[in-house]
Structure 1
């Protein structure tokens, strides 16, 4: 069975839905000091599906309150801008790229990605890296898997079988079948989507950060390992990837200090998961 080359993979990227306008705005705004809540609210209100998801998340978070949340403005007051941005981004991606097929679960992929995003945000809060950039990078780090499955479902399922039955990392199984892995595929897609270079680099580096010089790549790699260690995505046959000592050293991570936040990270993940219904 033939598989597309990395160059041919971009032809299949057109079969994926384009990023919603509000998501594109959120990602562009990550490095824009002039981005404001009023503009964000305008973009959110322009997409009824996103408003519906946001209100569902806000009402889930306000279950102990007597009044229901019925507008984006009320949701902003209740949840705060940062959490609003995270929920809008996550819910939009989950809804738009929710693939249902035998042998592949996009919902499982997004649940794991949310776990990595929550870990990445917590790490960023202690490092001076933009927490929203970290969250977005974590959420998108495995987007290459979705593109590879969409472009060539049979070979991708074969790679998944190798990963699960031969007890090897998925990216190694992908290389056996495709000649490249989801990190490279994700980099190609993120570049085509014109995402910020930090996010592109993080997607490319998240499994093998030693060969890159990317602060956000180191962060997402560590977040990936931590998410697996805490079993946040409840993946079948969950395995903790090998943690790069170089990435930890470059990032300046002190595990003894950071372990005190594990319970908080798990609570955040549970909160997001409940709000997003995944």
Structure 2
């Protein structure tokens, strides 16, 4: 079986909902209407609640409460809105994975942390449209979930061999399956017609030297996921940086000395975003 065949098999189980497809299509148009975006978002109670929570959070620091979707769309901005919609719908898409394979709370905590760190690192690198790195970082490991859903027995074998060491996961996947979760993640994003930078990050985040375009995006996420994984494992800053390929620093223009004193603040920021993306929302009864 190939990554593309896995993605075809899972297409009926995991698909992006209409609300994301509509938002994505509308935002690709030259003149994107905030009013139309608000109409689409309003059809999804969960995403609407998260958008209101986001714009009313300390991140925006507004003096008055925002209580309408139309104003929330204007405040958040179209790119931030697309990030929120894709992040929320991706989390909802993957359900029913046995806990013996993965703790989904931990998985998405790591994913959101990687996304937030990626966006902050992109800003420090003066990358254009740094907000795109949030989704790239958050979805970098989505191929793992596809494997868990479609090949649970082989996935269990792989996890037993790795003994929880994520740094050798891709290598063992290649030995057992003939491909790895990076290949699968890239295939899934291609089937979802997502931008090329997301596909490249999914395919190369553990091997940034293999990336062609965009090299900076892959390098940034590679640094971010090392810090995020180190934080969840209780590693020191030195241990986090040890897992980073040296050449990626040149691609980003950043240095370990520059990033080290900022890590605590970046991780605190990720906790704020987790409260928006991951916390359950109170949905009104019809």
TM-score range, shorter chain: 0.7 to 0.9
What's the counterpart of residue 111 of structure 1? Answer: 109
My pick for the range that moved more, 73-82 or 151-160, is 73-82
SS of the residue aligned with 1:131? coil
Shift of 1:122: 0.4
Partner residue in 2 for 1:191: 190
What does residue range 1-278 of structure 1 map to in structure 2 within 5 Å? 4-24=1-21, 34-35=31-32, 37-56=34-53, 70-76=67-73, 83-103=80-100, 104-127=102-125, 128-164=127-163, 169-213=168-212, 214-229=215-230, 231=231, 234=232, 240=240, 242-277=243-278
2:282 alignment partner in structure 1: none
Change (3 A) 1:236 1:125: closer
5+ long unaligned stretches in structure 2? 280-286
Instruction: Kindly tell me the number of residue pairs found equivalent between the two proteins.
Output: 271
Q: Which runs of 5+ in 1 are unaligned?
A: none
Deviation at 1:273, TM superposition (A): 1.4
Q: Which moved more, 1:33-42 or 1:216-225?
A: 33-42
Task: Tell me how far apart the structure 2 counterparts of residues 134 and 149 of structure 1 sit (CA, whole Å).
Answer: 25
Look up the SS of the partner of 2:131 in the other structure.
helix
String of CA shifts for 1:140-162, please: whole Å, max 9, x gaps. Answer: 11110111111111111221222
Q: Is the CA contact (8 Å cut-off) linking 1:172 and 1:181 kept in structure 2?
A: yes
TM-score scaled to structure 1, two decimals? 0.82
Structure 1 CA distance, aligned partners of 2:118 and 2:30? 21
**Contact 2:118/2:224 (8 A) holds in 1:** yes
Measured in 2, the distance between the counterparts of 1:216 and 1:31 equals 21
Deviation at 1:113, TM superposition (A): 0.9
**Partner Cα separation in structure 2 for residue 242 and residue 154 of structure 1:** 29
**1:176–1:236: structure 2 CA closer, same or farther, 3 Å change rule?**
farther
Quick check: 2:97–2:148 contact (8 Å CA) kept in 1?
Answer: no
Cα-to-partner distance string for 1:39-96 (whole Å, 9 max, x where unaligned): 432321232332234345556669x999875432354477666654443332222223
TM score, norm. by length of structure 2: 0.80
TM superposition shift of 1:202: 1.1
For the residues of structure 1 that align with 2:32 and 2:87, how far apart are their CA atoms?
Answer: 19
For 2:63 and 2:106, the matched residues in 1 are separated by 33
The DSSP-based 3-state class of the residue aligned with 2:163 is helix
- Alpha-carbon RMSD across the aligned residues, in angstroms, is 3.3
